[in-house]
Amino acid sequence: MARLTLAVLLAVGTSVVQAQSFLDRLKDAVEETAKQTAEQVVIQTASDLVREMIITYTLEQTSSEAEVSEVYEEENGELPVNTTVTAYRTEILPAAAVSPGTEVHVKTFIEVVPGSNGKKAVIEEKLIIWDNEDNTVALKSMRKRAGSKGGAFAGEFTFSLPEGMPQGVYPITTSLMMDGEWLQDEKHRLQLVFYGESDGDGTLVAAGNNPESERTP
């Protein structure tokens, strides 16, 4: 009888442990699902807002082909055989905080030296705004032609941050391409910060930082 009672107690105890383990796993699964759902909602919200955002692009030649060619020849003795990009820099303005609706300017500088072979090359710039939660998700992009001749050029992407964007850090990449081939990336981080009371009265601001560069070898 004692053995039977002990066996019953052990069985009940095991069932209780198994039930608790099941409930713990179920709780973890529900919490993980809720977390993933919330992240997807945030990404979708940012994507919907940015999709409607307008980005403009302008380009101005600041030095002629002859001028950059002369400087290059003075420094190197002769022109390169193929058209060569000798400089690509970017910055975000204003560098301080801005509120939604204020224009953000991504300014670029490109210097192209024509090749001695006389072949023209198509130069393009591309701007990508990445999601603040999942930096592999591109929220919006724009690719524009920046010319096909030598010289120095000042480019500018302009956009206004929409109301309702989730706060966080949004990576921004500008890429330079020649004849469809990637040459260099400039990476910035645009931070949206909420200042105000928890009831939602406050101001979203954005601050850009210094870029990181990646170039072809």
- Tell me the residue ranges of DSSP E strands in the chain: 56-63, 84-93, 103-113, 123-130, 138-145, 151-160, 168-178, 181-196, 202-207, 212-215
Strands 138-145 and 168-178: unpaired
State CA 210 to chain mean position distance. Answer: 14
Give the three-state DSSP class for 121. Answer: coil
- pTM of this structure: 0.72
39: DSSP letter = H
Question: What is the pLDDT at residue 90?
Answer: 96
Interval 141-195: pLDDT, tens: 999 999 889 999 999 999 987 888 787 788 899 999 999 999 999 999 887 765 5
Confidence band, pLDDT 50/70/90 cuts, at residue 206? low
Mean pLDDT of 124-132: 94
Question: What is the pLDDT at residue 51?
Answer: 76
Structural contact between residues 97 and 104, judged by C-beta atoms closer than 8 angstroms: no
For residues 184-210, one letter each, b for 16 or more C-beta atoms within 10 angstroms of the residue's C-beta and e for the rest, the string is bbbbbbbebeeeeeeeeeeebbbbbee
Interval 60-102: pLDDT, tens: 999 999 999 999 999 999 999 999 999 999 999 877 666 677 7
Interval 18-53: pLDDT, tens: 656 656 665 555 555 544 444 444 456 666 777 788
The residue among 91, 65, 214 whose CA lies nearest residue 153 is 65
Structural contact between residues 50 and 171, judged by C-beta atoms closer than 8 angstroms: no
Distances in Å between the alpha carbon of 72 and those of 34, 76, 88, 101?
Answer: 59, 6, 16, 42
